[in-house]
Chains A and B, each alone.
Chain A
Amino acid sequence: MANLKDIQRQIKSVSNTQKTTRAMKLVSTAKLRRAEELAKRSRLYAEKMNQVIAEIAGRIECSKIGGIENRCFTPIENPKVVDIVFVTADKGLCGGFNIQTIKAVNKLLKEYKEQDVKVRLRGIGKKGIEFFNYNETEMFDTVTNLSSKPDKERSDKFIETSIEDYKDGKIDALHIVYNGYKNMITQELHVNKVLPVDTTSFDCNTVQSSSMLEIEAEDEEKMLDSLVNKYVGYSMYYSLIDSVAAEHSARMQAMDTATNNAKEMVKSLNVEFNKARQAAITTELIEIISGVESMK
């Protein structure tokens, strides 16, 4: 039989934990609201941006207009070096949020390893970085404090290296892996191949009939360049925004479950405590009664 005092101490400790998790849940709920708002407003822009890029890419692919040769729009057959950018949270206690992203990165790493492709891993977010450091996976560079506080300038600066290297031919593909926000209770894992722009999903037949694309011949290179920069930059930034929203929703959920578990635990501990108390009383009574009996 557990000691009464021990049980009492345990109850106290569990209910303290419960207080903490409940507070964390409330904080996440408040933060989620803001992050969600931001993500929602940006989503429209991100979608349209993808659409415009996909359309341009598709048209270049289908009609080869003006003999445009831009590395960003040409599928590369045998990649030698690829960049993988992953976004994880800076903090834990958010359920399987980080590990899902890490697993997806590992899968991608394995796939490339089998094809004998060199991977430059670029990490955003402390948790993912810690994981790969622990597993002694080499990383090209890392950034912290960016995934919890998305900042357009820093994100642009970070991704610029990849864009430049891609244009210079130092890398042959760029992936962004992150866990995005779907709704309050679900997160959605995204493994986006940002460069080269994916042209396979575009159906040539539907384009030809509808309308034509006209790009001023002189500045087409400049235009595409500038557009790709903005596109990749924004993809990166949107990944961060989406990831923050997802992080908060995941944490909210994890903390909710934790609070409920703590509640259950306090309940069962209380039952145990009452039983122990009753047992103690009964023992005492028996002792008194048997004492009285023996004196007769």
Chain B
Amino acid sequence: MDTFKLEILTPNGEIFNGEVLNVVLPGEEGEFGVLAGHASVTTLLEAGVVDVEKEDKSVESILINWGVAQVDEEKVIILVEGAVAIRGENENEIADALEEAKKLISDIADANPAIASVSAKIESAAQGLL
């Protein structure tokens, strides 16, 4: 399977930059997946979880609160306001990341009632890592 370049940028720096196989984005009108060679599209993203399938087939989940995705044939650039990657070397780090993600969720919870499903999603993502 072909890979493509994915960049996720936050105002505080890069949170992800690398070659990936597949990425699922929480678009305004529903989730959509992007594979290499996707047609160009520019769209807004809602608060939700970005699932990134990396070259080694492992999946990483990144929580975002707002974003704009620019997709073209070779690369995907996602600009987000706030993001937390659910990852870590050991249990402690993952737990910390989860804690941080929950904080971000509670910050955006008022504006978006559908946030509960996002919360469940990151929980299961974290469970998967442990």
Contacts and interface: CB of A to CB of B under 8 A. Distances in A.
A63 to B, nearest CB: 13
A157 interface: no
A213 B77 contact: no
Q: Interface range on chain B: under 10, 10 to 19, 20 to 34, or 35 or more? A: 20 to 34
Contacts of B40: 211-214
A213 B42 CA distance: 7
Interface string A177-220: 00000000000000000000000000000000001111110010
Q: Interface range on chain A: under 10, 10 to 19, 20 to 34, or 35 or more? A: 20 to 34
A212 B14 contact: no
A52 B79 contact: yes
A271 interface: no
B79 A49 contact: yes
B83 to A, nearest CB: 11
B34 interface: no
A226 B41 CA distance: 17
A223 B69 CA distance: 11
Closest 5 CB pairs of A and B: A41-B13, A211-B40, A214-B41, A45-B9, A223-B44
28 contacts: A41-B12, A41-B13, A42-B12, A42-B13, A44-B9, A45-B11, A45-B13, A45-B79, A48-B7, A48-B77, A52-B68, A52-B70, A52-B79, A56-B42, A152-B11, A211-B72, A213-B40, A213-B41, A214-B39, A214-B41, A215-B42, A216-B29, A222-B44, A223-B28, A223-B44, A227-B68, A230-B68, A237-B11
